[in-house]
Structure 1
């Protein structure tokens, strides 16, 4: 296979080909991603026998990880929507935070929901609410997406018990309690910069340009249904609507924290982990949603859930194809080559950890891979430099936020579920996430000035 600097050239060419075929020539994103995956594999001279298996493994691995969650999540969302629950939550959010600050309110909810819940689950559950709040407040949809998606991305990359941060703590032999405190505080700074402030900028820019979003058939039907629910005499309460949303989240919380808080030999851990399995939690959530929403829904529940699933097929195909492209890129060794190059540069350790994780994230599309790999590479360097391992770990995790490109399946989830274009996804998700990561790094650099004073850092 091709090695060295030519790998980076091939990576750039592949991304350019993908974006041009989708944006310029309007080729279906699924088709373009699959073609680009094969083209990239051929350009790096991957053995023919490995090419088809790499594409298939990347596709099936992604679908296997998110398929059940996505299907169940959409059905739960449809039940919440048809019962008027989305309206109830949106109205309460506006009441609590005011119209002007409603994106920040949604982002705060996503920040805490994203600690135990996978990003794909947050995307599925929050996307309908984004459209509802945007219509009610006349605030840009991109502002809401930036706030909630960046918030969930930050907690997924920086806050335990998510798998990536836990692996970083293990690699760097950290006290997870101390790490949790500093990563959460720094993460809030990142949420402010990449979520709230960047979201406000996107809203001002959209209003200044006079842009008016044209709703597709699905969104027009969605709007009509919500207007009908608002005029209905029998309305679901905010508490009942939140219960539908929180049941699967609470189940996942129980399972996630059980392995952290309880000893490994505790007999309850396997049972709690089973209860907190994301697929089971979403299935139980749908069942409970059917029972709670039934008095407020007219018509067949089966038909309602079926309408939701009609929207999922292409989303899953595109997201799976994004996983296939990411897998091919991963197998090319682009991330390893970039890590080697930057590891030889004389850069301050905190900045090096951030930059290295960002580059691997950009090349491979996986936050978990990026921060786990970087922490393993730099651990001895951090100790030798006398830098706080806690702060170095937070800087590395910050590097896992942002720069999400089309080789990341999450890029396509954000785009398709929120019904925004690819250029819009770059603006609110890729750039917003990068600014969030920079905000976290900034907080870490400030904390490093006091690492001999603040507790737990050395």
Structure 2
């Protein structure tokens, strides 16, 4: 009985996860509504004062969206401008033409990685799959031969690199510098994308050979803008537009690291660079830049360019609400004492916050399906541990992101998208997509742990 009382915070978390699963999978409730119900129920189970429950939920939702909405919204706009202006098409086709048939997988990985930085996972998938199918037909290669490298690169950028919602969200909650997350995310993400893409592709052909004979159905992607290559912007300007926010953030981060190492007092010039490299400023400047490079400079009317900006926001409205609800659930876990309880359990242990963050996120991802919900729920448990640890917080962000992409299966929308687009059976999808996501997660953790020895 004492054990039951002592461990009630953790038992409550288990009940909350089961409740969330039942609401989403059993009752088919919208994820946002299910998360809000779970947040309120968890608050009551943890014995929070009744007059504090609503305040905690509102604080969690507002605090999370206050920072996220700006970067998330601007990121969606940048991706849409790149897609509608033909920049993404130019990047993909140029790299594929230059690498040739023999190295086409590498071309797909690099193109998807660059495009994946600017475009959210689902948008990148919808944009790149028709290109992959066209190239597959022209080269007489199986669609999945190119699909695995593409999915690997998109998934890595989604899990590790700002301005994607997961890394931005986790960094905000942990108080990590986004530029550092981006820098370390590149160091980890590049080898992970190679291992999960071209390297894993060879194994996938052996364990699921029938998957490489299938013809998928991309009719559900609807009307796609098709560009003649000569009607698209140049490769250089397209790549610069996609990477513009990354360049600004990395410049500021590198300067910040040098200033810190040399104990230099930042002057106004350095502070101005910090402002330019802040994620919100970098994204805003990137939008202004893209309006010209992907719009006005291409003789597109301002009305059409602004329509792209407007269209970018509609698909992310519900995602913003889900992220906000996840923030509410996270705040309930913290204010309800779950975080403190976990901190007490691990204060005198040698258990690394990096491994714990990955483990918690992985368990939640397998149970809940959503990488974003798994990531934000993890933060409520891990945050109290960070104060008592000297671990690099940016690496804990990446570890949480790595854990949150593991083992995508039947409760994840990405699983079904991949299955349908490539015409696979459930078994074939588990042997390709699910295994691919697991490789990203596990190899990501290994590289993060290796990096932690040096930073």
- State the TM-score, normalized to the length of structure 1: 0.67
Look up the match of 2:280: 279
Match of 1:4 among 3, 6, 9: 6
Equivalent residue in structure 2 for 1:136, among 124, 131, 142: 131
The CA distance in 1 between the partners of 2:310 and 2:129, in whole Å, is: 25
Q: Which residue of 2 aligns with 1:173?
A: none
Alpha-carbon distance in 2 for matches of 1:88, 1:167: 34
User: Residue 244 of structure 1 is aligned with which of 227, 241, 261?
Assistant: 241
1:208 corresponds to 2:211 = yes
1:140-189 deviations in whole A, cap 9, x for unaligned? 8676444344356457799xxx8899979xxxxxxx9xxx99x9867766
Superposition pairs for residues 268-347 of structure 1, below 5 Å? Answer: 268-293=269-294, 294=296, 295=298, 297=300, 300-344=304-348
For residues 311 and 106 of structure 1, what CA distance do their matches in structure 2 show?
24
Secondary structure in 2 matching 1:94: helix
Question: Alpha-carbon deviations, 1:182-230, whole Å to 9, x = none?
Answer: x98677665555676668878976963988776686x312x2x13xx23
Q: Distance in 1 between matches of 2:90 and 2:43?
A: 49
Match of 2:153 in 1: 147
* 1:88 to partner: Cα distance: 0.8
Choose the corresponding residue for 1:62, options 64, 82, 96.
64
The correspondence of residues 249-264 of structure 1 with structure 2, limited to 5 A, is: 249-262=246-259, 263-264=264-265
| Gaps in structure 1 of 5+ consecutive residues | 114-121, 169-175, 380-388, 407-413, 448-455
Partner of 1:439: 446
Distance in 2 between residues matched to 1:405 and 1:10, nearest whole Å: 24
- Shift in alpha-carbon separation, 1:370–1:420, aligned structure 2, 3 A: farther
CA contact (8 A) 1:14 1:36 kept: yes
Over the aligned positions, Cα root-mean-square deviation in angstroms equals 4.7
Where do 5+ consecutive residues of structure 2 fail to align? 133-142, 365-373, 407-411, 420-425
CA separation of 1:319/1:268 partners in 2, compared to 1, >3 Å: closer, same or farther? Answer: same
Aligned to 1:410: none
Q: Shift of the alpha carbon at 1:95?
A: 3.7
1:387-408 superposed Cα distances (whole Å, 9 cap, x missing partner) = xx99xx99867744433299xx
Whether contact under 8 Å (2:354, 2:395) holds in the other structure is yes
1:89 to 83, 88, 91: 91
Inter-partner Cα distance in structure 2 for 1:164 and 1:18: 22
**Whole-angstrom CA distance in 2 between matches of 1:327 and 1:12:** 16
The Cα offsets for residues 9-42 of structure 1, whole Å up to 9 and x where unpaired, read as 2212212222332233321111111111111111
2:98 and 2:343 map into 1 onto residues whose CA distance is 46
Cα deviations by residue, 1:116-159 (Å, 9 ceiling, x for unpaired): xxxxxx4745653333333322348676444344356457799x
SS in 1 for 2:69: helix
Alignment partners' CA distance in 1, 2:83 and 2:19: 38
> Is the CA contact (8 Å cut-off) linking 1:361 and 1:369 kept in structure 2?
no
Secondary structure, in 3 states, of the residue corresponding to 2:88? helix
Distance 1:51 1:65, change over 3 A: same
Q: Is the aligned partner of 1:377 residue 2:388? A: yes
CA positional deviation for 1:430? 7.3
Q: Give how far 1:341 is off.
A: 2.8
Counterparts in 2 of 1:328 and 1:92: CA distance versus 1, 3 Å: farther
SS in 1 for 2:403: coil
Distance 1:322 1:258 in 2: 34
Q: What whole-Å deviation, never above 9, does each CA across 1:236-268 have from its counterpart, x for those lacking one? A: 221121122232222222333332223233332
Report the Cα distance in structure 2 between the residues aligned to 1:56 and 1:206, rounded to whole angstroms: 50
Report how many residues are paired.
393
TM-score, L = length of structure 2: 0.68
Cα 1:148/1:439, change in 2 over 3 Å? farther
Q: How does 1:351-390 map to 2 (within 5 A)?
A: 352=352, 354-358=354-358, 365=375, 374=385, 376-377=387-388
Q: 2:60 touches 2:327 (CA, 8 Å); kept in 1?
A: yes
CA separation of 1:238/1:31 partners in 2, compared to 1, >3 Å: closer, same or farther?
same
Cα pair 2:36 2:325 within 8 Å, conserved: yes
Greater CA deviation, 302-311 or 290-299?
A: 290-299
C-alpha spacing 1:167/1:234, structure 2 compared with 1 (3 Å): closer
